[in-house]
Amino acid sequence: MPVLRTDIRGSIYIGNYAKAMGDHLLLTGDAPDREAKRFEKTLGGTPVRVRLRACHLTSPFFAGNSSGILASRFVEDETLEALRNSSNSQRVHTLETRFTAIGNLILANDRGALVSPVLSASHLRVVGDALNAEVEKGTLGRASYVGSLATVNNHGGIVTPFALDEEIQRLEDLLGIEVHRGTINSGIPFIASGLVATDKGALAGKLTDGKELMAITQALKVL
């Protein structure tokens, strides 16, 4: 499946409203049905609609892979229970930390997870147990919000152009993939804000240009 361009609720920042974590796909609760169907067809699986208080955003409050889902303390118990039922997964855990946007602090596939240095050793243990993956602290472009600066699957990854060579090498070793630098939506370095991907396909924000689409396709190996 090639990388397709789309929007959610008229926004090119589709990664703020959708989150792919292995075979788990979360989608903002008020996304129109036609957009939900586009995500389902391209990425595979049935999207789980998530409603968070008065907030339309979804991805900043979740992280995970095929083995499990981590949720921010911002997420209410009823939403967690609905997520457990809808995703057929009991491995939905709350990461107790003062940082609510945990999706910006964790970058994971089914093999490993790169975690922001702002999280503690006890948090790393929770992440490792929940995701059944090797966990390491690290940065991208010397920035701690690693989850917002890259999108990965089990085949490859694309990261901010500001990522250092040694950071990329460490990420490749940890996740067992090849990683390429790139941008989204015509030059935006916050990759996750405009790119959602699984092993089966990828969706990018509507302003993503042809060169960026080619780089994403090659990096994530979604042909």
Give tens-digit pLDDT for 68-117: 999 999 898 888 887 888 755 558 999 999 999 999 999 999 999 999 99
Instruction: Please report, for the domain that includes residue 74, its CATH number.
Output: 3.75.10.10
Instruction: Indicate if the pLDDT at residue 39 is higher than 90.
Output: yes
Q: What's the total number of domains in the chain?
A: 1
* Residue ranges in the chain assigned as alpha helix (H): 33-43, 77-86, 121-131, 165-175, 210-220
Q: What's the CA gap between 208 and 194, in Å, rounded?
A: 8
Q: Is the pLDDT of residue 199 over 90?
A: yes
Q: What is the pLDDT of residue 88?
A: 56
Q: Give 161's pLDDT tier (boundaries 50, 70, 90).
A: very high
How far apart (Å, rounded) are the C-alpha atoms in residues 45 and 149? 25
DSSP for 94-155, written as a single string: EE-SS-S-GGGTEEE-SSEEEE-TTS-HHHHHHHHHHHTSEEEE--BTTBS-GGGSEEE-SS
Look at residues 166, 147, 25 and name the one whose alpha carbon lies nearest to residue 87: 25
Residue ranges making up the domain that contains 163: 4-220
DSSP 8-state assignment for residue 3: -
Residue 180, C-beta contacts closer than 8 angstroms, at least 6 positions apart: 156, 157, 158, 159, 215, 218, 219
Q: Can you give the pTM of this predicted structure?
A: 0.95
